[in-house]
């Protein structure tokens, strides 16, 4: 199993337009046929962001499903042309599951309020060890812990309750170069 964490950044006046388009047109077209939506969140601020996490059986499965989505005429004509007019920046990370409720099969989606994302950029070769330390520190309460596949294999991501992220985000682990904790608000799509 692999996951893709997609992040879109908007100017404040465009975020609600994009989120409406995503819910009303994008998700009805794509559903879970082209990858399974595991969670979606909004981060408010001067540059609002929309994050969504997709599950695929493998990189090959992702390649096939993304190509099929791109070939879908409704996606190509009804969603994409409008969507790109709202997005200022796009970033995606393909990540490998290490632990958490999603990985263990105890949760099909990450939902609810009060979640946060911790991203730790690590020294080369230390991400797996840091992921294991974070997993031990959070005592199996994480929704998910992932290590980066690309674009940065030296990154660890954790999604959990904000209180847990605050607690583990303050711990010192050898090998972490920088860390960012982001409070996530429940996303617009609850399909």
Domain check: are 112 and 66 in the same one? no
Note the pLDDT of residue 110. Answer: 66
Identify whether the C-beta of residue 73 lies closer than 8 Å to the C-beta of residue 126: no
Counted domains in the chain: 2
What b/e sequence results for 125-157 when a residue is b if at least 16 CB atoms lie within 10 Å of its CB, and e otherwise? ebbeebbebbbeebeeebbbbbbbbeeebbbbb
Look up the CATH number of the domain holding residue 164.
3.30.70.100
Of 23, 58, 91, the residue at which a domain comes to its end is 91
Residue 191 placed within a domain = no
Note the pLDDT of residue 120. Answer: 95
pTM of the predicted structure, to 2 decimals: 0.91
Domain check: are 109 and 172 in the same one? yes
Of 54, 70, 91, the residue at which a domain comes to its end is 91
Note the pLDDT of residue 170. Answer: 78
Q: What is the mean pLDDT of each run of 10 residues along the chain (191 residues)?
A: 96 96 96 93 93 95 97 97 97 94 59 83 95 89 92 95 86 89 88 68
Q: Which range of residues forms the domain containing residue 137?
A: 97-186
């Amino acid at each position: 199993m692999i996951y893709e964490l997609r992040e879109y950044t908007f100017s404040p006046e465009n975020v609600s337009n994009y989120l409406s388009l995503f819910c009303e047109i994008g998700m009805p077209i794509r559903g879970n046929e082209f990858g399974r939506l595991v969670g979606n969140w909004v981060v408010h601020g001067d540059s609002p962001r929309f994050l969504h996490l997709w599950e695929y059986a493998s990189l090959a499965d992702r390649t096939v499903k993304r190509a099929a989505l791109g070939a879908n005429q409704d996606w190509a004509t009804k969603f994409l042309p409008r969507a790109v007019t709202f997005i200022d920046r796009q970033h995606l990370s393909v990540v490998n599951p290490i632990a958490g409720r999603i990985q263990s099969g105890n949760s099909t989606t990450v939902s609810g309020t009060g979640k946060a994302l911790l991203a730790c950029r690590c020294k080369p070769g230390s991400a797996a060890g840091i992921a294991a330390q974070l997993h031990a520190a959070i005592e199996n309460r994480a929704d998910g812990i992932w290590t980066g596949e690309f674009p940065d294999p030296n990154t660890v991501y954790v999604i959990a309750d904000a209180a847990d992220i605050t607690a583990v985000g303050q711990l010192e682990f050898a090998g972490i170069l920088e860390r960012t904790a982001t409070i996530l608000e429940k996303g617009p799509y609850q399909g």
